[in-house]
């Protein structure tokens, strides 16, 4: 999306990632939030390794993406960025004070309660799949996932969204978190959660954000990609 000269917003994203990561990098959450609130933005793409260099670390001390810059603030961490967007622009947080607090509560629940076991699944099945400890850990990881997803399913019940009929920033983050294991038979075990996730990814804002993220990736890996991938697999 082209930058809006009247209110410049810039985010950072990776120029290239392996195919399995495309559509999952966390700048997608920020792009979706900006689409939902109708704000244009510019993307600064980082070449492989550039995210660990001093210019980017000045924006993000841990050398990751995304970051967000507007005419007031520079932020890192996708959750904090989505909260900033939701608070600054209308559409992702209710006006009612109590409902607003509940929506923010669900943002924290998505990132702090649901995401960690789902990321553990990615570690044992993908990032460390070849390690001798990964397969023995998998049953315990899946048990933790189903404990959390079962609790989430029970709470969601037959609601359209987490706090009723209105889509909020809490739903935005929860849907992106559930997508970490989309198609793995985990979320799909719970009919209401599968339907909930499907409602989220059917929103026009999500579709536009995903299409823009995917179209921004370089399709040809850079020359140093093989060495970088090997280091990642070794945990370096």
The predicted-structure confidence for 198-236, as pLDDT tens digits, reads as follows: 999 999 999 999 999 999 999 888 877 665 555 555 544
Q: Are residues 102 and 172 in the same domain?
A: yes
Q: Are residues 101 and 79 in the same domain?
A: no
Q: Are residues 146 and 221 in the same domain?
A: no
Q: Are residues 22 and 84 in the same domain?
A: yes
Q: Are residues 162 and 184 in the same domain?
A: yes
| 24 half-sphere exposure, CB direction, 13 A CA radius | 16
Q: What is the mean predicted confidence (pLDDT) over 139-146?
A: 98
Host domain of residue 154? 97-202
Q: Are residues 196 and 215 in the same domain?
A: no
Query: Are the C-beta atoms of residues 107 and 171 closer than 8 Å to each other?
Result: no
Q: Does residue 2 lie in a domain region?
A: no
Q: Does residue 3 lie in a domain region?
A: no
Position 59 pLDDT exceeds 90? yes
Position 123 pLDDT exceeds 70? yes
In order, the DSSP letters of 84-108 are: HHHHHSTTSS-SSHHHHHHHHHHHH
Query: Are the C-beta atoms of residues 40 and 4 closer than 8 Å to each other?
Result: yes
Q: Are residues 62 and 103 in the same domain?
A: no
Mean pLDDT of the chain: 92
Task: Give the Cα separation of 52 and 25 in Å (integer).
Answer: 16
Q: Are residues 85 and 104 in the same domain?
A: no
What is the tally of structural domains in the chain?
2
Q: Does residue 5 lie in a domain region?
A: no
Q: Are residues 66 and 111 in the same domain?
A: no
Task: Give the Cα separation of 27 and 21 in Å (integer).
Answer: 12
Q: Does residue 42 lie in a domain region?
A: yes
Name the pLDDT band for 3 (thresholds 50, 70, 90): very low
Position 102 pLDDT exceeds 50? yes
Q: Are residues 48 and 72 in the same domain?
A: yes
Give helix 97-109 / helix 169-178 axis angle, nearest 10°: 20
Position 185 pLDDT exceeds 50? yes
β-strand partners of 10: 42, 69
**Phi and psi for 161 in degrees, rounded to 5?**
-130, 175
Q: Are residues 103 and 178 in the same domain?
A: yes
Q: Does residue 1 lie in a domain region?
A: no
Q: Does residue 220 lie in a domain region?
A: yes
Q: Are residues 101 and 198 in the same domain?
A: yes
β-strand partners of 75: 68
pLDDT value, residue 228:
56
pLDDT value, residue 8:
86
């Amino acid at each position: 999306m082209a930058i809006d000269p009247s209110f410049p917003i810039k985010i950072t994203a990776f120029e290239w990632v392996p195919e399995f990561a495309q559509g999952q990098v966390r700048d997608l959450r920020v792009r979706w939030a900006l689409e939902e609130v109708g704000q244009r933005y510019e993307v600064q793409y980082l070449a492989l390794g550039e995210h660990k260099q001093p210019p980017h670390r000045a924006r993000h001390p841990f050398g990751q993406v995304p970051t967000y810059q507007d005419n007031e603030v520079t932020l890192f961490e996708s959750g904090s960025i989505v909260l900033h967007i939701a608070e600054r622009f209308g559409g992702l947080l209710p006006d009612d004070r109590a409902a607003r607090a509940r929506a923010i509560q669900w943002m924290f629940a998505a990132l702090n309660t649901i995401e960690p076991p789902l990321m553990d699944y990615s570690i044992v099945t993908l990032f460390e799949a070849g390690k001798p400890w990964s397969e023995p850990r998998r049953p315990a990881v899946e048990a933790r996932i189903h404990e959390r997803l079962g609790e989430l399913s029970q709470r969601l019940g037959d609601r359209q969204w987490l706090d009723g009929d209105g889509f909020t920033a809490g739903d935005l983050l929860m849907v992106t978190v559930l997508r970490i294991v989309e198609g793995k038979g985990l979320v799909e075990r719970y009919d209401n959660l599968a339907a909930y996730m499907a409602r989220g990814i059917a929103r026009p804002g999500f579709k536009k954000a995903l299409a823009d993220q995917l179209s921004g990736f370089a399709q040809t890996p850079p020359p140093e990609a093989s060495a970088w991938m090997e280091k990642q697999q070794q945990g370096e």
